[in-house]
Chains A and B, each alone.
Chain A
């Protein structure tokens, strides 16, 4: 496994991580400001925090209640 990490050019992968981070932060800000979500609000906090990449996207697409 370590070899893989050594051979990976981090400059290439960094954008993936940055995008993920932005999505997570934006989702958190929105989660904080919004009054209601579809389903328990606290559940969405865990989804955003624990599921990388997919969590924030799920939150925006399904969890966020449009009004």
Chain B
């Protein structure tokens, strides 16, 4: 536990010193509030730049509040995932490439501790940032479109947070497989895309694929209660993430740090 905290704290210190603790939350907030604001001003924007013929009226129905919240989520599933993948691509691979890992791993630190502490540190940063972003989005949605209950916001954060945790687990796994950060980032994104594609193709079978989390979250928001499938999907996501983490520890242990 002490070794875990040592690695974890060092990661936190680094994230503070290189401003990750500033820019990651800000980027997530930015992603969260862009859609509520732009959707709100959409009619005016279209009116002024769209060049509608004189007299033509153009009715854009105001979307229900939970749809706007889902727009923010869509931002996270694209740009958010991209940021997470790029931000974590050097987590372990970078240290191995530069050679710092050599100095760290000759100390009697457990490989499993080293990997999980790093995984934990990224998760804390990302999930806190994601919470800040969702909170900001929720604030704007409530202000401009109508009420979404806070409890639903918390559930949305929790369930979608699992998706981000899944992405981080993929990244950590790739980090132990390859020494080149760019390749790690690329493969992480590729893995996420393939997961989505496979889920789309075999949609009827893969009811609980992690890629379906956001679909079920939409159902939850519109119906007001948590669908059973969401729980199932959450469990599967946690399971796959754990498996990825264990696989990461295993490859890290067997792969020589040369």
The residue that B83 contacts in the complex, of A1, A53, A61, A67, with Cβ under 8 A, is A61
Contacts of A45 in B (CB 8 A): none
The residue that B22 contacts in the complex, of A3, A26, A53, A66, with Cβ under 8 A, is A26
Residue A57 interfacial (CB < 8 Å): yes
Contacts of A12 in B (CB 8 A): 37, 40, 140, 143-144
Does B45 lie within 8 Å of A57, measured CB to CB?
no
Residue B34 interfacial (CB < 8 Å): yes
A19-B30, A53-B30, A67-B98 known; A61-B87 Cβ under 8 A: yes
Contacts of A15 in B (CB 8 A): 29, 33, 136
Does B37 lie within 8 Å of A16, measured CB to CB?
yes
Does A16 lie within 8 Å of B30, measured CB to CB?
yes
The residue that B19 contacts in the complex, of A4, A19, A60, A62, with Cβ under 8 A, is A60
Q: How far is the CB of B32 from chain A (nearest CB, A)?
A: 10
Residue with the greatest number of chain A CB neighbours at <10 A, chosen from B23, B48, B49: B23
Total interface residues in chain B, CB < 8 Å:
30
CB contact list, B26-78 vs A, under 8 A = 26-27, 29-30, 33-34, 37, 40-41, 44-45, 47-49
Closest to A30 in B: B19
Closest to B94 in A: A66
Contacts of A23 in B (CB 8 A): 23, 26-27, 30
Complexed CA–CA distance, A20 and B33 (Å): 12
Cβ contacts A1-14/B at 8 Å (1 or 0 each): 10110011000110
Complexed CA–CA distance, A29 and B19 (Å): 10
Complexed CA–CA distance, A56 and B34 (Å): 17
A19-B29, A67-B98 known; A57-B23 Cβ under 8 A: yes
The residue that A22 contacts in the complex, of B26, B143, B181, with Cβ under 8 A, is B26
Residue B121 interfacial (CB < 8 Å): no
Residue with the greatest number of chain B CB neighbours at <10 A, chosen from A4, A66, A67: A66
Q: How far is the CB of B10 from chain A (nearest CB, A)?
A: 14
Closest to B36 in A: A12
Complexed CA–CA distance, A22 and B19 (Å): 11
Does B44 lie within 8 Å of A61, measured CB to CB?
no
Does B34 lie within 8 Å of A16, measured CB to CB?
yes
22 residue pairs from A and B, CB less than 8 Å apart: A3-B48, A12-B37, A12-B143, A13-B37, A15-B29, A16-B37, A19-B26, A22-B26, A23-B26, A23-B27, A26-B22, A26-B23, A27-B23, A30-B19, A56-B23, A57-B23, A57-B27, A60-B19, A61-B83, A62-B86, A66-B18, A66-B181
Interface residues, chain B, with chain A CB atoms under 8 Å away:
18-20, 22-23, 26-27, 29-30, 33-34, 37, 40-41, 44-45, 47-49, 83, 86-87, 90, 94, 98, 136, 140, 143-144, 181
